[in-house]
Amino acid sequence: MQLLTQRVYVDLAAHERANKFVLEGGGKPRAKIYCHIYTTQKQGPRIQSIRETWGHRCDGFHVASTITDRSIDSVNIPHEGREEYQNMWQKVRAMWVYVYVNYYDSYDWFHIGGDDMYVLVENLRLYLESEEIVSASNGGEQPLLLGQIFYQNFYSSATYVTGGGGYTLNKAALKMLVASFPNCAPHDVTSVEDVLVTQCLKKEGIEP
């Protein structure tokens, strides 16, 4: 594995230029990003840290926890099976359905990850607004699954987006993913939700 050696920074200058360009009527509205993370009640301190740092920089945000607590934006989203790491697939399936039903119409992109990640939201927004991604999405019609690609069992043909740093779907991919759930590992009990999300979309012809 190659170690990160380059300095990571938030491109605030480009972010502010993009904001100014929109305010002056020179372009389309900025990409609206909905962020949701999975956690449990005992990780309250982590959630508070996320809310105070990067969480509020998303256009929408909630935490899928084991309790509903508006003070930390947490929602108890019921799912099949036990609340445990080995059943993460069922938890994430329920999260995606919840987001689709409640927030699909209000946002352009949907980012998911665990309570141990940190997202540079400004950089993510600039990337989603880049010519590369705008072109790839074909005006939002083409489903996109974005994230760091891993190789399952070291086979280049068995790629998936890792959930470690989170991954992002556009509206078309979210709609396709939720539609696939009834026929894509609907009752599996496993922790590799990122692998299964990728597989469900691959069955629909969408590669990461």
Position with higher pLDDT, 19 vs 186: 186
What tokens appear for 18 in the block?
């993009």
The residue among 156, 147, 154 whose CA lies nearest residue 127 is: 147
What confidence score (pLDDT) does residue 156 get? 54
**What's the mean pLDDT in 120-125?**
95
**What's the mean pLDDT in 157-166?**
87
What confidence score (pLDDT) does residue 136 get? 95
**What's the mean pLDDT in 116-144?**
95
Kindly report the pTM of this predicted structure: 0.90
Give the model confidence (pLDDT) of 28-66 as tens digits: 889 999 999 998 777 778 888 999 999 999 999 999 998
Which are the contacts of 16, defined by CB distance < 8 A and separation ≥ 6? none
- Rounded Cα distance between 24 and 16, Å, is 12
Give residue 175's Cα distance to chain centre: 14
pLDDT at 154 over 80: no
Between 101-105, 149-153, 168-172, the lowest mean confidence (pLDDT) is in 149-153
Judging by beta carbons within 10 Å of its beta carbon (0-12, 13-18, 19+), is residue 183 exposed, middle or buried?
A: exposed
pLDDT at 129 over 50: yes
Give the model confidence (pLDDT) of 68-98 as tens digits: 998 889 999 999 999 999 999 999 999 999 9
Position with higher pLDDT, 158 vs 78: 78
What confidence score (pLDDT) does residue 1 get? 46
- Rounded Cα distance between 80 and 63, Å, is 18
Q: Which residues of 25-45 are buried (b: 16+ CB within 10 A; e: fewer)?
A: eeeeebbbbbbbbbbbeebbe
**What's the mean pLDDT in 132-143?**
94
